[in-house]
Structure 1
Amino acid sequence: MPPRKQPSERQRRLGAELRKLRTSAGISGDQAAVLLDADRARISNIETGRLDVSRNRLYMLLREYGCPPGALFEGLMEMAQDSGKGWWDEFRGSVARRGLDLAELESRSNSIRVHDTLNIPGMLQTEEYARAMIAAIEGKHESLDQRVQFRTERQRILGGLQKYHVVIHESALRTRVGSTETMRRQLLRLIEVARLPHVRVQIFPFELGPYSPHARSFILFGGSAPELDTLYREYPTSADFIGDGPRITEYARMFERLASLALAPIDPAAAPEAQKARNSLSLLQHVLYELG
């Protein structure tokens, strides 16, 4: 089978982790090729995600690279076994590749931390809010219905996560997307989801002052092992999937800083009247009141 031209994010990440383990073990590409009874080009293609590696060969490489039994070992084995096929396959051709990669990444994550500055995160959007936002940014086109369906279908993994924590800037609550009723239903949806025991929603209010150091939205995906965590940053026409440990640590610290400054989250165990006087719920209710 010839090397693929466009490996998926999962395929690239598996190859990158194998390269990290090989270099940490002090094993050259030529030595790794001998282990697989292959040429150096095959190792290079495996490490760039352009070629798959069988479970048996991956098991042998991980043992030779000194990867101990545990979460990382099993996580890499699962990534190799995964076919990459899922519910998102039906959207190929109507959704950009980065969107498909994002859906696959979400499906294999245990926890998700989101920081959003201008919009309600896609995982929490109502269908009408998603439609209005996509139409406003990209215009109405023949694939709009499929794009909206894809965004709402992504929400199916929310219930299976161990933790979903989001810090949203107040500007996202006040940026009008669609009609007043669209915004009202969206904010009510946000409150509803925030009452789930594994969901934590916090609002970063205007009153805390300048926001420029944290102006970029990002998502941190928790994998089956810390080494498999992923940082995701999206741009108008592209996206970054980053598996670099120091960068992820940097953004994780930024997220914790934002969470420590933001208003207290909605307490799912407390009745509305028992919530703290000034918290994320009170601000959401205030914005709802202002909508009229």
Structure 2
Amino acid sequence: MPQRDAPTARQRRLGWELRKLRERAGMSATEAGELLGIGQSRVSNTEVGRIGISAERVRVFALNYGCDDERLVEALAAMETGRTRHWWEEYRGRLPAGLLDLAELEHYATAIRTAQLTHLPGLLQTVDYARLTFRQCIPQLPPPEIEYRISHRIKRQDVIYRARPIPYTAIIHEAALRMQFGGPEVTREQLRHIIDMSERDGVAVLVIPFSAGIFPGSGQTIVFAEGPLPELDTVQLDAEHGFVFVHTEVALAKYRTVLDRMEAMALKPEPSRDFIRSIMKTL
């Protein structure tokens, strides 16, 4: 297979997991290449996602590395999408790669949990709300890119609209609900949309009111995408310099705990809807 110029986050993750298997087996890339009948450079390029690998080849790598966890091996084999082209590829070269990686992450997730403190979740945003948030980017975005970003964000929402939607839990702090982006009318319509979405199958909106006090993870936005196995989960964090994807075992355990504690502090779905309605009445 030809080398990729810019492997996606999913392709890099598959390579990283293969490297973990090799290192657990105590092999160098050179030793692995000799065992597999390929050069060391090919092993290394596979491990950083620059060279694709078939599902069958993934199984051969795992076998040679002594991995007998069939569920993990099959989950890794399923991560190689080959030349499959998804909708987000039409934005490549027009939007930052991190946005495409986020769409890919959500598309393949088996469940998603997100915690939002000052902005409302992208998968629950209206077009008007999304446009206002993109207008605040620094440096300022040109109008065509804003429209591309809006289109991309709305298409991402397919994961909760499709025939078999992904279970989606949004933990939203009261501060985000009270931010009047665009004034009362835009805010009221956005809150009404969140209530409507919260009544869809598989969608849970949980509100943390100001009265809940301090809680873990109160300084960042978190998207936790579950994989087919817990060890293949991924966390995406927002940062001013771009998107950060985290998947080490220690970090995953930490963010599971953070989200569990935040969810335990939040109102349940029906009280959350009532809480949002009460905010709407004040607008």
Identity fraction in percent: 34
Report the CA distance between 1:28 and its aligned residue: 2.4
Closer/same/farther in 2, CA of residues 223 and 202 from structure 1, 3 Å limit:
same
Amino acid at match of 2:231: E
> 2:200 corresponds to which residue?
196
Contact 2:52 2:82 in 1 (8 A): no
What is the TM-score with the length of structure 1 in the denominator?
Answer: 0.90
SS at match of 1:79: coil
Deviations 1:43-101 (A, max 9, x none): 11111112122333222111122333543222211112343520111112221100001
Amino acid at match of 1:147: R
Q: Which amino acid aligns with 1:120?
A: L
1:202-217 paired onto structure 2 within 5 Å: 202-210=206-214, 213-217=217-221
SS at match of 2:144: coil
2-structure distance, mates of 1:211, 1:225: 28
Is the contact between residue 159 and residue 165 of structure 2 (CA under 8 Å) also seen in structure 1? yes
Once the two structures are TM-superposed, the CA of residue 265 in structure 1 deviates from its matched residue by 1.7
Structure 1 residue 25 displacement after superposition:
2.0
Match of 2:174 among 170, 194, 202: 170
Structure 1 partner of 2:272: 280
Q: In the alignment, what sits opposite 1:182?
A: 186
Q: CA deviation at 1:27?
A: 2.5
Pick which of 142-151 and 8-17 moved more: 142-151
Matched, 1:101 2:101: yes
Aligned to 2:155: 153
CA distance in 1, matches of 2:246, 2:88: 21
Q: CA deviation at 1:282?
A: 2.0
2:258 to 254, 259, 262: 254
CA contact (8 A) 1:133 1:178 kept: no
In structure 1, the gaps of 5 or more residues are 267-278
Q: Contact (CA 8 Å) 2:217, 2:258: kept in 1 or not?
A: no
* 1:139-188 superposed Cα distances (whole Å, 9 cap, x missing partner): 55222211111100100111334411111111110111113211111101
The 10-residue stretch of structure 1 (65-74 or 189-198) with the greater mean CA deviation from structure 2? 65-74
Counterparts of 1:214 and 1:179, CA distance in 2: 25
Equivalent residue pairs, number: 279
State yes or no: 1:61 paired with 2:61. Answer: yes
Aligned-residue Cα RMSD (Å) equals: 1.8
